Structure 1
Amino acid sequence: MGLKNNTICFLLIVVISAKKSECYLCDTCTCKNAIINCTENGDMLILDILWDHADIFKNATIIQFDYNEIIHVKQLPTSKVKYLSLRHNKINVIDDMAFINLKFLAELDLSYNSLTTEKLKHNVFKISHDDSSKLSSLLHLRLDYNNIHSLMPHVFKELSNLASLSLAGNPLKVIDRSTSFALASLPMLKVLNLSNTSLSELPNHLLHTPRFLEVLNLSKNQFTQIPPGLAEVHALRRLDFSYNPIENILNFPKMKSLKILHLSHMPELNSIGPHSFSLLNNLEEFHCTYNNKLTSIDPSAFSYKLNDESEGELWPLIVKLDLSYNALEYLDSNLLSRWDTLEELNLQGNKWICDCVNQWLVSTLAPMVESRHPEFLNDFTCQKPIEMSGISIFDLDHRNYHMRCLDFYNNRPERDGILLIGILIGVILAIPFTMGTLMCCAKRKKSLSYYHRIFNNKNSYPHDYQLRETSIYQPTSIIADGY
């Protein structure tokens, strides 16, 4: 009887637990329209519950388990899920073939976890129990901000269709041979994010194998020069090289397909030299912003010559030019061949010198920007000379203002008015002083003339007076001579 009662109690507990489990997932999470959202649930065991809800999980296409306490990812049940997100957990273990039952999975996000090189084994992304030639459906993989120092050479062996990979925020420091091999095993890769990985150089042949690579993010690294390995790319269309400590840009390697280039937030960049981008002949967008030390861009930075040694220069057909919030003082009109074809131009936040050299900013560029993007005129102002500091270049255009030229000694023409007033005040004060001086001199001259007349009269005494003076003193002379 006791054994029977214990059996009944056990079965009752199982039933109660099953019912509790049955409602737990969708009571705690949001289950609606084939979407399971368990964000910020705070339960490290929530993935295990999925096995108890195979029907709910099976038909879901989007599943999110972000911001939980998940540490261990075990093999997941069969599902039609296409997007699976496990961001911002504490995952440091993923079982082999954990995602093998997700036949339609196209995007997997494992960013902001605690994965390491050792824990990210080559069987983690295995999609088949045998070694068949079946291709994975996974197209986008995010491993951002884990603790990965290197990649095992065969970690992506099963992901031959992968088009996008992000390793941003991992402490790679160098692309070693093992990591290079892993990246080379992704022949269909189109997007590679290596930002904020403490890189200072690229292996020469790293970018040769992914022949379809279109987007490369190398921002927030430690590059002090443009890596020559970029010349290995085949189809690169977009490159982000922002947030790197480069001081001077002298030349970019040839990238015939590159259309978009970002060089922003570079704290040490102070100049862009002649023909720096002359090998980027198909460039369409140039974004160079928030470089606080960038004072000059050489007028020939974009121009190039054809290989047939013909005379004249050519320029890429840039349609978007963003040079906002640098320290530019002058902008040469020869930087581009056609300014009127620009679809977007932003020159805000620079230290423009408002003189005749930059008159074309007022006459040509200001009305162009106003007609297309008036919001880019909010901080389009003069900074020098000091008399014009803060004056809107947009307002100068409305006033048809023609800026004056600084002279050879760099004097400021805007001070001419003050200078003329100073001269006038000086003249007014100098007149009475001069008159007083002249009067004093006149009086003194009159006195001198009086004594001069007396002296002249003394020299014109009668002859007898002179003789008398001679006779008076002559005996004395004779006595003195006789003595």
Structure 2
Amino acid sequence: MKLILCAVLFGAVATEASDPPKSPICGHCNCTNGEKNSFDVYCSGKSGEQDLFSEKNWKSAKNEAYNYNYTSLSFQNGWLPNLTQTFPSLSLISLDLSYNHINSIGKNVFINLTNMRTLILSHNDLENIDPDAFKATDKEGKPVGLNNLKELRLDYNKIHTLDPNMTEYVIEIEILSLANNPLHLSDTDTVLAISKLSNLKELYLQYTNIKTLPDNILHTLMHLQVLDLSGNPIAEMPKTLSQGKNLTRLFMNNTGFVNLTEETGFPLLPKLKELHLCRNQHLQRLEKHSLSGLIQLATLKLSDNIDLVSIDPMAIAKSMNHTVFRQ
């Protein structure tokens, strides 16, 4: 009986000793423990300086050698007008800094977040992003980028233009959202900045007050599959849209279209499967062959077009003016 009791007690002590020390940041923020003792951290309504950038808040005070795994950090509704301090070395995959009144980002801020795949800077006060905002340097002092970053969300800011040097440091991104910014998309620098992102698969430009797509902006985006131009005063079909040969989903809700004809309708988009044309308040007619360039179209959404009175039976029929695109 005594031997059994001792064994039980010994097992309890061993289990307690093996428990990892509690992450200090979990005393300031809410933490969810995930797989392999990784943490998802959520903070809201904090100033940020003390919790985010102090390395002691991310490492164990009892055991400095213990290395925590942090999968995501969501820090929202705080006060970070000048994001200039460098994040400590963390294993973050996702970082959400939305709703923090950020108006400037210093260089090397993200230098230690080498695993980061998603960066959300939505709903802030960014106007012009410093070209070195996403710049980092390696141990030898050579400039490097955020090479693992795949998703960058800059929507709901005050961005007018993008510096082409900025995107050189996020060249691997596949998803870019610039929605709800007062963009000057006719600006050469902005076009060049976007055109450099040759791996881009999804581009969101809704409610940016653009009237058309600049020439050749899609020329280098050969992997682009999703494009959202909704909420813009686009009255005529952008000619450069024909360069979107690999587009599969296109959103053009709430635009300025009136009548779409064979001449003014969609160009040949050979892989497009889904088209959204909803809430176009001035759209009246879809005439013969106006959609015939969409030879693989499977889903067409036309809801809430209050003035739409006519859809020609041949609107989506094949036209001899469109030749099949072959790679």
Provide TM-score, normalisation by structure 2.
0.82
Partner of 2:3: none
Partner of 1:160: 171
Compared with structure 1, are the counterparts of its residues 224 and 134 closer, same or farther at alpha carbon in structure 2 (3 Å cutoff)?
closer
CA-atom RMSD, angstroms? 2.2
Partner of 2:298: 284
Partner of 2:26: 26
The question of whether the paired residues in 1 share the 8 Å contact of 2:53 and 2:88 is answered with: no
The 5 A counterparts of 1:57-76 are 59-73=69-83, 74-76=85-87
1:137 maps to 2:148: yes
Distance in 2 of aligned mates of 1:216 and 1:104: 27
Highest RCO, 1 vs 2 (Cα 8 Å, sep ≥ 6): 2
Partner of 2:8: none
Structure with bigger strand share is 2
The question of whether the paired residues in 2 share the 8 Å contact of 1:219 and 1:241 is answered with: yes
Compared with structure 1, are the counterparts of its residues 167 and 213 closer, same or farther at alpha carbon in structure 2 (3 Å cutoff)?
same
1:249 maps to 2:263: no
Compared with structure 1, are the counterparts of its residues 173 and 156 closer, same or farther at alpha carbon in structure 2 (3 Å cutoff)?
closer
**Superimposed CA distance per residue, residues 416-439 of structure 1 (whole angstroms, 9 cap, x where no aligned partner):** xxxxxxxxxxxxxxxxxxxxxxxx
Counterpart code for 2:186: I
TM-fit CA distance, 1:187: 0.9
Compared with structure 1, are the counterparts of its residues 92 and 134 closer, same or farther at alpha carbon in structure 2 (3 Å cutoff)?
closer
The question of whether the paired residues in 2 share the 8 Å contact of 1:110 and 1:142 is answered with: yes
The question of whether the paired residues in 2 share the 8 Å contact of 1:148 and 1:171 is answered with: yes
The question of whether the paired residues in 2 share the 8 Å contact of 1:173 and 1:200 is answered with: no
| Counterpart selection for 1:36 from 23, 36, 41 | 41
Compared with structure 1, are the counterparts of its residues 75 and 132 closer, same or farther at alpha carbon in structure 2 (3 Å cutoff)?
closer
Distance in 1 of aligned mates of 2:145 and 2:167: 14
Distance in 1 of aligned mates of 2:318 and 2:291: 8
Partner of 1:467: none
Compared with structure 1, are the counterparts of its residues 173 and 193 closer, same or farther at alpha carbon in structure 2 (3 Å cutoff)?
same
- SS state at 1:261 partner: strand
The 5 A counterparts of 1:219-258 are 219-250=230-261, 251-258=265-272
Counterpart code for 2:49: L
Counterpart code for 1:31: C
Compared with structure 1, are the counterparts of its residues 46 and 284 closer, same or farther at alpha carbon in structure 2 (3 Å cutoff)?
farther
The question of whether the paired residues in 2 share the 8 Å contact of 1:25 and 1:49 is answered with: no
**Superimposed CA distance per residue, residues 129-187 of structure 1 (whole angstroms, 9 cap, x where no aligned partner):** 34467771000000001110010111110212110000000001433100011011111
Task: State which structure, 1 or 2, has the greater radius of gyration over its C-alpha atoms.
Answer: 1
**Superimposed CA distance per residue, residues 323-347 of structure 1 (whole angstroms, 9 cap, x where no aligned partner):** xxxxxxxxxxxxxxxxxxxxxxxxx
The 5 A counterparts of 1:21-420 are 25-33=25-33, 34-39=39-44, 41-55=45-59, 59-73=69-83, 74-117=85-128, 120-129=129-138, 130-131=141-142, 136-250=147-261, 251-305=265-319
Compared with structure 1, are the counterparts of its residues 308 and 46 closer, same or farther at alpha carbon in structure 2 (3 Å cutoff)?
closer
Counterpart code for 1:51: E
- SS state at 1:38 partner: strand
**Superimposed CA distance per residue, residues 171-204 of structure 1 (whole angstroms, 9 cap, x where no aligned partner):** 0143310001101111100000000000001112
Counterpart code for 1:29: C
Counterpart code for 1:237: T
The question of whether the paired residues in 1 share the 8 Å contact of 2:86 and 2:108 is answered with: yes
Structure with bigger helix share is 1
Distance in 1 of aligned mates of 2:78 and 2:96: 11
Distance in 2 of aligned mates of 1:151 and 1:49: 27
Structure 1 gap ranges (5+)? 1-21, 310-483
TM-fit CA distance, 1:72: 2.3
Compared with structure 1, are the counterparts of its residues 308 and 50 closer, same or farther at alpha carbon in structure 2 (3 Å cutoff)?
closer
Compared with structure 1, are the counterparts of its residues 35 and 133 closer, same or farther at alpha carbon in structure 2 (3 Å cutoff)?
closer
Partner of 1:476: none
Percent identical across equivalent pairs? 32
- SS state at 1:157 partner: helix
Deviates more, 1:41-50 or 1:278-287: 41-50
The question of whether the paired residues in 1 share the 8 Å contact of 2:145 and 2:168 is answered with: no
The question of whether the paired residues in 1 share the 8 Å contact of 2:134 and 2:145 is answered with: no
- SS state at 2:313 partner: coil
Counterpart code for 2:288: P
Distance in 2 of aligned mates of 1:106 and 1:92: 22
Distance in 2 of aligned mates of 1:212 and 1:107: 19
The question of whether the paired residues in 1 share the 8 Å contact of 2:289 and 2:319 is answered with: no
The question of whether the paired residues in 2 share the 8 Å contact of 1:204 and 1:232 is answered with: no
Counterpart code for 2:212: E
Distance in 1 of aligned mates of 2:195 and 2:321: 33
The question of whether the paired residues in 2 share the 8 Å contact of 1:99 and 1:127 is answered with: yes
TM-fit CA distance, 1:25: 4.0
Distance in 1 of aligned mates of 2:117 and 2:234: 33
Distance in 1 of aligned mates of 2:273 and 2:204: 18
The question of whether the paired residues in 1 share the 8 Å contact of 2:178 and 2:205 is answered with: yes
Distance in 2 of aligned mates of 1:46 and 1:294: 56
TM-fit CA distance, 1:32: 2.9
Structure 2 gap ranges (5+)? 1-21, 34-38, 61-66
- SS state at 2:168 partner: coil
TM-fit CA distance, 1:24: 7.6
TM-fit CA distance, 1:52: 2.4
